[in-house]
Amino acid sequence: MKKLGFGLMRLPYTEDKTWGNIDLEKTREMIDAYMEQGFSYFDTAWVYHGGFSERVFGELVAKRYPREKFQVTTKMPLWGKTDPADLQKTFDEQLKKCGVEYFDYYFLHALNRDVFATAEKLGAFEWMQEMKKQGKILHPGFSFHDDADALEMMLSKHPEVELVQLQINYIDWESDNVQSRKCYEICKRYGIPVSIMEPIKGGSLANIMPDAKKIFTDYNPNASAASWAVRYCASMDNILVVLSGMSNMEQLQDNMSYMKDFVPLNEEEQKCVQKATDLIKSTIAIPCTACRYCVDETNGGCPMNINIPRFFEIYNESKRYGVGPYKWHYNNAVKESGDPAGCIGCGNCQGHCPQKLEIIELLKEVAKTFA
Ligand code: SF4
Ligand code: SF4
């Protein structure tokens, strides 16, 4: 299996709501191009695109390609579940939406200490083993958003899992918050392969500051910044797949160009990445990955309709290049969604942030900066 996985969480957007604002035609073209080049791994989830990601997968992949030509992973949302019977109900609906009879990999979604406690109460790990016995899940696992101690605790209780999805990228590798390296090493010690999410850190490593970009282009003028981020991840051992949440054909073609016949980073290239990491880390103000869990309606959303990741992105850019050029973007974002100054501090967003960002305080800082 080739190591580039198609993450179905940032698909092309359209105003038409028929498929939950996903542009079906553009997505079909991307999926066909991906399959034509011999790639085969798709990653979706119940919550992606407000529930439409799984449907789109079923429509564009499962309906149109023989089952043996692709692998698919989806994820069980555990938030708010109290009845163990809900696991089966959700799962059966996922099989229907995705148009398959089994999932190659299946994750308990976004485990942290709290969600893990819910999973234990519901018997979710044991339930996955039952699904495995019935041939409906080939490889059970979980996606993870907490620190290394939490991961160690989970794997010590459930070493039977067969894949763990971790957030890894060259910026978060040594991060105190995300603890990518420590988590990766724990999986390796348990002999459990890893699938990597956020290799481009929500797209931010595709568009890096000019000085960092120069480090890469001086070494290879033809390679995109994104290619360095994805190859960095794919160069690790014990990796099943690196997921990229691609939003257009250009990103897909770029990713495929270096992942089709993948060559790991050499020593010199690793040094370039380290230099760029040091430079970029010295300028990131808010380490938001734009995952949008904080504003996702299936998580309750923001009652004031504040587009949190958009404001954090604007703020980060303003820290790098000055507030002036970003006032226009800020004012536009205020018009299109809610105003950060209007945050009522309900806290619904913070509980869903995998990066554990203090969103309420950060929004105050953003609003103050642009006041
Ligand atoms: S705390 Fe503020 S930003 Fe967060 S959900 Fe509530 S109103 Fe929205
Ligand atoms: S604030 Fe947190 S939950 Fe919201 S998009 Fe950023 S990283 Fe994701």
User: What is the predicted pLDDT for the residue at 196?
Assistant: 98
Ligand 1 and 302: CB distance under 6 A:
yes
pLDDT in tens, the chain (371 residues): 999 999 999 999 999 999 999 999 999 999 999 999 999 999 999 999 999 999 999 999 999 999 999 999 999 999 889 999 999 999 999 999 999 999 999 999 999 988 999 999 999 999 999 999 999 999 999 999 888 999 999 999 999 999 999 999 998 898 766 789 999 999 999 999 999 999 998 888 998 888 999 999 999 999 999 999 999 999 999 999 999 999 999 999 999 999 999 999 999 999 999 999 999 888 788 989 888 899 988 878 899 999 999 999 899 888 876 788 788 889 989 988 999 999 999 999 998 998 889 999 999 999 999 99
User: What is the predicted pLDDT for the residue at 299?
Assistant: 79
Ligand nearest to the CA of 309: 2
User: What is the predicted pLDDT for the residue at 201?
Assistant: 86
Ligand nearest to the CA of 361: 1
- What distance in angstroms lies between residue 358's CA and the mean position of ligand 2's atoms? 10
- What distance in angstroms lies between residue 348's CA and the mean position of ligand 1's atoms? 6
Ligand 1: which of 288, 308, 334, 364 to mutate, most ligand atoms within 8 Å of CB? 308
Contact residues for 340 (Cβ-Cβ < 8 A; gap 6+): 306, 311, 334, 363, 364, 366, 367
Q: How many Å apart are CA 277 and CA 267, to the nearest integer?
A: 15
Phi, psi of 279 (to 5 degrees): -65, -50
Ligand nearest to the CA of 177: 2
- What distance in angstroms lies between residue 337's CA and the mean position of ligand 1's atoms? 12
H-run or E-run covering 53: helix 52-57
Ligand 1 and 344: CB distance under 6 A:
yes
Output the pTM of the full model. Answer: 0.80
User: What is the predicted pLDDT for the residue at 324?
Assistant: 82
User: What is the predicted pLDDT for the residue at 179?
Assistant: 87
Asked if residues 169 and 178 have their Cβ atoms less than 8 Å apart, the reply is: no
- What distance in angstroms lies between residue 247's CA and the mean position of ligand 1's atoms? 27
Q: How many Å apart are CA 226 and CA 251, to the nearest integer?
A: 9
Instruction: Indicate the residue type of 317.
Output: E
Strand pairing report for 4-7 and 239-244 = parallel
Return the bridge partners of 108, or none: 76, 142
Nearest CA to ligand 2 atom 6: 288
Question: Closest by alpha carbon to 148, among 173, 119, 128?
Answer: 173
Q: Is the dihedral of CA 26, 259, 148, 276 positive or negative?
A: negative
Contact residues for 276 (Cβ-Cβ < 8 A; gap 6+): 170, 208, 212, 215, 216, 228
User: What is the predicted pLDDT for the residue at 249?
Assistant: 98
Tokens at 39, concatenated:
């790639």
- What distance in angstroms lies between residue 229's CA and the mean position of ligand 2's atoms? 20
Nearest CA to ligand 1 atom 8: 302
H-run or E-run covering 101: none
User: What is the predicted pLDDT for the residue at 266?
Assistant: 98
Instruction: Indicate the residue type of 237.
Output: D
